[in-house]
Protein backbone atom coordinates (compact mmCIF):
# COMPACT_ATOMS: atom_id res chain seq x y z
CA UNK A 1 0.00 0.00 0.00
CA UNK A 2 1.38 3.39 -0.95
CA UNK A 3 1.57 6.33 1.42
CA UNK A 4 -1.17 8.07 -0.54
CA UNK A 5 -3.48 5.05 -0.31
CA UNK A 6 -2.83 4.71 3.40
CA UNK A 7 -3.64 8.38 3.99
CA UNK A 8 -6.92 8.04 2.09
CA UNK A 9 -7.89 4.94 4.09
CA UNK A 10 -7.06 6.68 7.37
CA UNK A 11 -9.10 9.73 6.41
CA UNK A 12 -12.11 7.53 5.59
CA UNK A 13 -11.78 5.69 8.92
CA UNK A 14 -11.37 8.94 10.87
CA UNK A 15 -14.46 10.42 9.22
CA UNK A 16 -16.48 7.45 10.52
CA UNK A 17 -15.30 7.84 14.15
CA UNK A 18 -17.69 9.56 16.57
CA UNK A 19 -15.72 8.88 19.76
CA UNK A 20 -14.31 12.26 20.78
CA UNK A 21 -11.80 10.80 23.24
CA UNK A 22 -10.36 8.52 20.57
CA UNK A 23 -10.12 11.41 18.12
CA UNK A 24 -8.36 13.57 20.70
CA UNK A 25 -5.86 10.80 21.42
CA UNK A 26 -5.21 10.29 17.72
CA UNK A 27 -4.70 14.02 17.30
CA UNK A 28 -2.27 14.05 20.24
CA UNK A 29 -0.29 11.23 18.65
CA UNK A 30 -0.09 13.04 15.32
CA UNK A 31 0.81 16.31 17.03
CA UNK A 32 3.59 14.59 18.97
CA UNK A 33 5.00 13.18 15.74
CA UNK A 34 5.13 16.62 14.15
CA UNK A 35 6.93 18.38 16.99
CA UNK A 36 10.62 18.11 17.59
CA UNK A 37 10.98 16.22 20.79
CA UNK A 38 14.13 16.68 22.80
CA UNK A 39 15.82 13.63 24.21
CA UNK A 40 16.08 13.99 27.95
CA UNK A 41 19.57 13.32 29.21
CA UNK A 42 19.93 12.02 32.75
CA UNK A 43 22.51 13.60 35.00
CA UNK A 44 25.25 11.47 36.54
CA UNK A 45 23.35 11.47 39.85
CA UNK A 46 20.14 10.36 38.15
CA UNK A 47 21.93 7.58 36.26
CA UNK A 48 23.54 6.47 39.49
CA UNK A 49 20.17 6.40 41.26
CA UNK A 50 18.63 4.32 38.46
CA UNK A 51 21.54 1.87 38.53
CA UNK A 52 21.28 1.59 42.32
CA UNK A 53 17.54 0.91 42.08
CA UNK A 54 18.08 -1.73 39.40
CA UNK A 55 20.67 -3.43 41.60
CA UNK A 56 18.27 -3.38 44.57
CA UNK A 57 15.57 -4.99 42.43
CA UNK A 58 17.99 -7.71 41.30
CA UNK A 59 18.78 -8.42 44.96
CA UNK A 60 15.11 -8.58 45.94
CA UNK A 61 15.28 -5.35 47.96
CA UNK A 62 11.94 -3.84 47.05
CA UNK A 63 8.37 -3.70 48.32
CA UNK A 64 5.30 -5.10 46.62
CA UNK A 65 2.56 -2.55 45.90
CA UNK A 66 0.42 -3.49 48.90
CA UNK A 67 3.37 -3.42 51.29
CA UNK A 68 4.53 -0.07 49.89
CA UNK A 69 1.01 1.33 50.36
CA UNK A 70 1.00 0.14 53.99
CA UNK A 71 4.40 1.76 54.60
CA UNK A 72 3.24 5.03 53.06
CA UNK A 73 0.02 5.03 55.10
CA UNK A 74 2.03 4.34 58.24
CA UNK A 75 4.44 7.18 57.45
CA UNK A 76 1.62 9.62 56.67
CA UNK A 77 -0.19 8.85 59.91
CA UNK A 78 2.79 10.04 62.00
34 versus 22: which is more confidently predicted?
22
pTM of the model: 0.43
> CB under 8 Å to 50, separation ≥6 — which residues?
42
pLDDT given at position 12: 95
Number of CB atoms found within 10 A of residue 29's CB: 9
Res 32: pLDDT: 75
Which tens digits make up the pLDDT trace of 26-78?
998 888 766 666 778 999 999 999 999 999 999 999 999 999 999 999 999 97
At residue 66, the pLDDT reads 93
- Do 62 and 56 meet the contact criterion of CB atoms below 8 Å apart? yes
Amino acid sequence: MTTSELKKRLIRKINDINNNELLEEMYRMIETEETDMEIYELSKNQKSAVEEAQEQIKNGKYLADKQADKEIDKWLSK
